[in-house]
Structure 1
Amino acid sequence: MTIQEFISRNGITEVLHFTTERGLTGCASAKLVLSRKALDEEQYLSHIATPVSTERKEAQDTFNKDENWLDYINMSISEINTHYFRSARNRYTCLDRWWCIMSFDPVILTHPGVYFTTTNNIYTGVSRATDLSGMLAMFNDRVTRWSGNVVARNGRPMHLATCEQAEVLYPNPLNMSFLQRVYVQDREQAASIHGTLVSLGFGQVNVTICPEKFSGVPNTF
């Protein structure tokens, strides 16, 4: 079986990445989604995009150094990582900005160098791999986050990874040509995003009002 066959068999139709409306504007302007490391280096995006975390454990000297994890784009399969989203949203509650979710064609999961993680990449129990075995591991019956914390599938739909915090780590950069949809929470946001996309050459991308998409599908214990 190939990754593409697994995608089709499990009904996976999208890979998601959430950002602020300013982040989306930056991505659409550059025609690329950039990693956190690249955002620090790209002066233009550093002014108009908002990194979703002010500090990252991956940058610490004690963290796994098999790869430069800050140079990967954190994404998820079918639903957002609500744990990470709540943290990002709470960090920027004082700012006048709102969030949207970019939905990409799942074909990007077949691209070279993509890592699949069974849970949050910073957890001690995480398993990472770049091939089909890595993707299959995301859908194991049980996944360990850290010692004493294990999540089970418990009837989760086939298109969802076992742990809601499982990540797709895409090597920088990701071409915006794979963008197929943007989720927003109300009509005003939809109109704003649609205008931005049209003005920057992405008029074919659907803008969908779907507030429930921002709730994800958390694990049940």
Structure 2
Amino acid sequence: MIWTHCYLKGVIHLERIEWLIGEEEMLSIIRLMITSNSTFDIFTFSSHLSRFVIKDNMTLSDVFYHSYTTGGYPTIHVSVMEDTIRIDQSGSTLWPLSLSFYNGSSHWLLTNAESFHRQSNTSSLQYLVNQGFKTFMRVNYDTKTWIQILYMLEQDASQFTPVGRAQFISDLCYFSSSLVDKYMVDRVMALVNDQPDNFDLCDW
């Protein structure tokens, strides 16, 4: 079921947990489960993550169980302003989200919205979220940031990974009805048609 449910949602969640706790820790949990349990399920695995507290008494066990049992996927909106970055969860369900930024930093979003200070003289593109689809979510941006992303893809798509490129295209098309600049959708279609080798994953 893990290969057919929600575009490998379960696989991505497991990979993210491994990234958070480390490969050796993940392997030790698996070995312990195999040697200590004749049978095991989601609750067995989840119980081994309860000692990893991420923030405000929430554990990785809580995060994994929520992600596994909640249908659909989260969506966020990133607004890059002059001195502030604001991230809003735009869906009806509140998700515990592990965010990774393009500048290498990471953050847990456990509320509907949070704002961060933007350092002066930093490109808004440093605050791209979830590049490479490290967490199962869709990301929308303000119009100015989307335009910058499209320009970078048009000029040199290779600066992003194939998954990252496809992710941009998929998310922009998904949120197209909310875009202020409708011309961006035409630019996306032209981009994919003109550079098919750079966007060969855009069918997913």
TM-score by length of 2: 0.27
TM-score by length of 1: 0.26
Indicate the structure whose relative CO is greater, using CA pairs within 8 Å and at least 6 residues apart.
1
Which structure shows the higher helix fraction? 2
Which structure shows the higher strand fraction? 1
Q: Which has the larger Rg?
A: 2
